[in-house]
Structure 1
Amino acid sequence: MSDQTSKNGHFIISHYPNDDSPTDIGFTSSLNSSERVPEDQYQLKSDIEAFIVTLSDVYTKEGDEFKNYYQRAYYLAKLGLEGDHVDISLANRTLDQLRGEIVVSAGASIRNRLLTTYGFRAFIFCVIITIAAFILDKNPISSAPKMPFFLLMLSGSMVGSWLSLGVRTRSFSFDELRMHIRDQNGPTIRLAFTGVLTLVAGLLMHIGALNISIGTLDSTKIASDHLIALSFGILLGFSEKALVTTLTEKTKNMIS
């Protein structure tokens, strides 16, 4: 984001679609077709448009919160883009202030909804997988006697993944608000990814290609101790990003 200022604004700012109940900001260029919009003004215009899109996702357009932030964004657009002696720097700082206010105002509730949705799906998967592990433990399949242990790892990874999300979203940026609101399938996809990744790591541990020791926990025992299998599942789900890096390095070493 530029801190430069331009003496004259090159846009005409208007309410959209009308003055009575606006939900967006209209930007009409006041330049001739042969002229170009200064980069700092073009960037500010793009930032304000992105702000309005996120604002529409965070608050209902009929609500007081939306109307309040919309009006402030509208006037800062005029400040930085319309008329003589515009102040790009002040408009940018004001926009940053509005972003921060919305994160403080709505961030906690969005995080709670995200954790609730993610936690509910993780819980459902965890229960189903644990029941399957219990059934197979009581009625083992001769061709796959270790399956209950791997299922317990998978179940634990659901818990670990949810805990990891809680830690990672203790705070997030304004741009991440829209991503969390719109990504309805994200929790399911992430849980599936974490589960498959944990199973791959479990297989590598079982054959001795990957060894992890944490205190008294030893990865060589994941297929012989239920609690160890569950514990490693939780740890692998929690450290998913680190696990991706580890598996990538292991694969490169095995191939090279």
Structure 2
Amino acid sequence: MTYLGEGWDSTAVLVGGRWVERRPRRPEIGPQLVRESVVMPWLAPRLPLPVPVPVVVSRDPVVVRHELVPGAEPESLNAVQGRELGEFLLALHACPVSEAVALGVEPRALPVERFRAEVRVPGGEELLAKVDGLPADTLVHGDLGPEHVLGRDGVLTGVIDFGDLHVGDAAIDLAWALHSTPPEFAGAVAETYGVTDELRARALIWHQLGPWHEVLYGNDIGDPEIAEIGLAGVQERLGIRVTPR
């Protein structure tokens, strides 16, 4: 076995150079991994890029295993990759929500009250007010960022980590792609997907909200350093200038 790393929810090892084995880091993540083993066989054939299709190899403790998705986090992003991601998102967001719900996918509410209590920054309340009324009618990846988009030789080779798959706002999957990537990549995503001004504005809301989750995660696991990093991200994305101590 080769240790691959760990995220907020699970740890991963490579078995036999081919299989990725994942285990939950917290008890509540076990059902999430089992749900992936039900949903991903249905979802994978609908998508134009390889994705993990896990199977349960143990239920107590929970362990799932899937074939390694090739590639690594791209060192740079180009227009070809942007078009590929735009096509991927069009396919994902066209999947029938009713069928996904029947397989256990659910809407996911934002922890707005915790945000208010634990992330107190100028302009924060104005941002949280924008969350009210955002649509929740699309099957979304929910955590699409550079570490989950894989590539090789200038093209994309796969998308991983569907633990946050839920019924939500399509704009959440465009947050990073439109607001934190090189112009040629972001422009190609926008053109391929057909991004409107209104959709771009919603994606910015989700982009600005991203680090708020990191603050809560740091608080949950008792790691003030992670919470501080998250808070710095909140301030940066809101354009808050912080005076060094």
TM-score range, shorter chain: under 0.3
**Which structure has the highest helix share of the two?**
1
From the CA coordinates, give the structure whose radius of gyration is larger: 1
Higher strand share: 2
Q: TM-score, normalised by structure 1?
A: 0.22
